[in-house]
Chains A and B, each alone.
Chain A
Amino acid sequence: MTAITADHLVTRIRDLLAAHPPADTDRTDFLRARFDAGLAWVHYPEGLGGLGAPRSLQAVVDAELEAAGAPDNDPRRIGIGLGMAAPTILAYGTDEQKQRFLRPLWVGEEVWCQLFSEPGAGSDLAALGTRAVRESGSGDWIVDGQKVWTSSAHTARWAILIARTDPALPKHQGITYFLCDMHAPGVEVRPLRQITGEAEFNEVFLTGVRIPDSHRLGAVGQGWAVARTTLMNERVSIGGMRIPREGGMIAPVAAAWRERPALRTHALHQRLLQLWVQAEVARLTAERLRQQLAAGQPGPEGSGMKLTFARLNQEISGLEVELLGEEGLLYEDWTMRRPELVDFTGRDAGYRYLRAKGNSIEGGTSEILLNIVAERVLGLPPEPRDDKDLAWKDLAR
């Protein structure tokens, strides 16, 4: 078999565009055809939206299709599916699961959410208490419990879910990973209003929810290993993004600085330049990480990038509110809304400032990520722990 090269891809892209001219093809139809042509994520296997090609070639595909005016699948709306559910299903799913879920996930016909965190289990995720009990006879699982801070649960068709299947085992061992139908009876989603006034995340109550065993991902009791794959991909998917110089949060501040000289002060100038430089360095660091991944040398920089972006987003958006002076005292709209996507750029500075506070909490807090870097990258000794070998049911709660 010959290796896939950029030239092969360009031919395939031409064929796709010829058979489905973007100008007169329905958006969803085009995306489905793109998936079937193996041009969705080229490093995935053939038949699952890819061609088993090197990951670095995805950039070629994206650029060609963008230039041809082809629709994209709006990763902001389906980020959890793309960044977390898909790589986990690819790594642990059965053939049936991969065939069933990956295509509508990538096309964006089915939005995914992540039912991991619970009121009593956030940073210490393995302490979770949502129960899944196997029904004798049918072999189905019956799930009861409560999840919280679930982004996009209100738009999601499917969820990745972890639940406790054996309380007598230590906390990391008695967990199993499921794919949960958000339309199943017993799934109740309640908006949870957040600091910005809107409800981007939710509480999710699970009462007698029935999940067929065919929707279990990985072996019974192996859910923690599966979840670690999800969490690792969650962090890397943030660091791998490519942005232009002065892209991201620094863009609106720099624009305001240029367009409105009356707002300028010397003290703000110093801070702006410092943050501009740090944003540019963060961009280069993310670019270096991307090049390492593409060259097949995965580095540990992934969890680091999330830390950097969280800190920078918060400092930059804080500076922006201050720069705006009187205008910074105002807020666009406190109406409770349930947005379909997180849109930092289309909103005002107050929203950016408040929403950025979540960057150091969602997807693992900055404190937890610093622990991960210290222990897994630098090899520093772990925190002393006394909960590792105790049965989950005997833990203090």
Chain B
Amino acid sequence: MSDAFDLLYSETEEELRSAVRALLADRCTPAQVLARAETGRPHDPELWHTLAAEIGTAGLLVPEKLGGQGAGHREAAVVLEELGRAVAPVPYLTSAVLATEILLGLGCEAPEVALLLAELAAGRQVCAPALPLTQAPGAPLPGAVRDTGGGALTGTVGSVADAVAADVLLVLADTGLYAVPAAEAALSPLVPLDLTRPLATVTLEGAAGTRLADPATARAAIAGALLSGAGLLASEQVGLAEWCLTETVRHVRGRHQFNRPVGSFQALKHRLAQLWLDVASARAAARAAADALATGAPDAPLTVAVAQAYCSGVAVRAAEECVQLHGGIGMTWEHPAHLYLKRAKAGSLALGTPGHHHALVADFAELPSP
């Protein structure tokens, strides 16, 4: 298998999957997710503690000498598949992937970077990058935050995911990258389409933080983190799509109309068979992205763009089919299908839309627009 990349799951990865799945089956059922979301505070700090610290998933991307697990993107992708399957409201993508990758991208010589990284890897602190969730790799970064003198940061960033759960925010200002204690910022929670991934507007008015990097280093680190984030989001989307497919198949096998299970009607069988194909294909694309990120393959940016261009759409389609083929039940608030649809649709805007990633493919594959 010399030139090929590994698209399968290793035994260790399957063990990690079982541990995460068992935890979520116990403490993060759709009913529990819905109940928490209705309180307006979807995060469950105890669940996060078990997942991040006890199972040790928060430090998968962090080398052991910096306090992490020294695993990699393939393992983090498996965790995200399970989190997607459970629409789990945990700040994994933001803290354990995006923020962690930004810090890793700074080089870890500076003690304040190494310290924060170790805190994140151990699950002791949650960190959210103060970027809009829609921020795409390859797109210009916002420049709304300014240092108004002596490190007093001022500015506003909208649609920051998981900020409400964060202890620390990573803020890109004109003078560099800063770690800002969440207490220094004013957060106004927004009403999100996706109830399981809360958004807030972050306003800084002379906030004080620790400067971690100069602007150029910061921008390069953020670009790398966005690439990883987009590549790994594909795995979350695969997990989500798989749940939708499995639940829908279960439902149409049991639901009778016209004296037959509705799943015996060919019109539905063909749609579900096609969806299965799409999910199987999305899995291959997402695995390729995770593997390319893990090995630092030179074509990782193309593989990630392909995965994002493809997997977002599959997740949305799977969730839409799930609602439709459940009939009236699928339109109810009690049934969890809507949580999945909302996550899928919001996820297709996160870290670059399929259209944005198609444009990246056009660049990488040298298929220029007219």
Contact = CB atoms under 8 A, between A and B. Distances in A.
B269 A281 contact: no
B310 A381 contact: no
Contacts of A243: none
B272 A374 contact: yes
B92 to A, nearest CB: 25
Given A288-B287, A381-B253, A277 B269 contact: no
A362 B219 CA distance: 53
A265 B369 CA distance: 8
B7 A380 contact: no
Contact of A266 (B4, B365, B369): B369
A246 B361 CA distance: 12
A56 B1 CA distance: 8
A99 interface: no
A140 interface: no
Interface residues of B, number: 43
A342 interface: no
Interface of chain A, main secondary structure:
helix
A14 interface: no
B71 interface: no
B282 to A, nearest CB: 8
B149 interface: no
B284 A284 contact: yes
Q: Decide if the interface of chain B is mainly helix, strand, loop or mixed.
A: helix
Interface string A263-298: 011100110111011101110110110011011010
A381 B264 contact: yes
Interface stretch (A148-156, A162-170, A365-373): A365-373
Given A269-B369, A371-B269, A284 B288 contact: yes
B370 interface: yes
B272 A380 contact: yes
A280 B306 contact: yes
A325 interface: no
Given A280-B306, A380-B264, A373 B8 contact: no
Given A281-B310, A370-B270, A304 B260 contact: no
B331 to A, nearest CB: 23
22 contacts: A56-B1, A246-B365, A254-B367, A264-B370, A265-B370, A269-B367, A277-B309, A277-B358, A280-B306, A281-B285, A284-B7, A284-B285, A295-B8, A307-B274, A370-B273, A371-B269, A374-B273, A377-B273, A379-B253, A380-B261, A380-B268, A382-B264
Q: Which 10 interchain pairs have the tightest Cβ spacing?
A: A374-B269, A381-B264, A373-B273, A264-B370, A285-B284, A288-B7, A284-B284, A370-B273, A288-B284, A374-B273
Interface of B: 1-2, 4, 6-8, 249, 252-253, 260-261, 263-264, 266, 268-270, 272-274, 276-277, 280-285, 287-288, 306, 309-310, 358-359, 361-362, 365-370
Interface of A: 56, 59, 63, 246, 254, 257-258, 261, 264-266, 269-270, 272-274, 276-278, 280-282, 284-285, 287-288, 291-292, 294-295, 297, 301, 304, 307-308, 367, 370-371, 373-375, 377-384
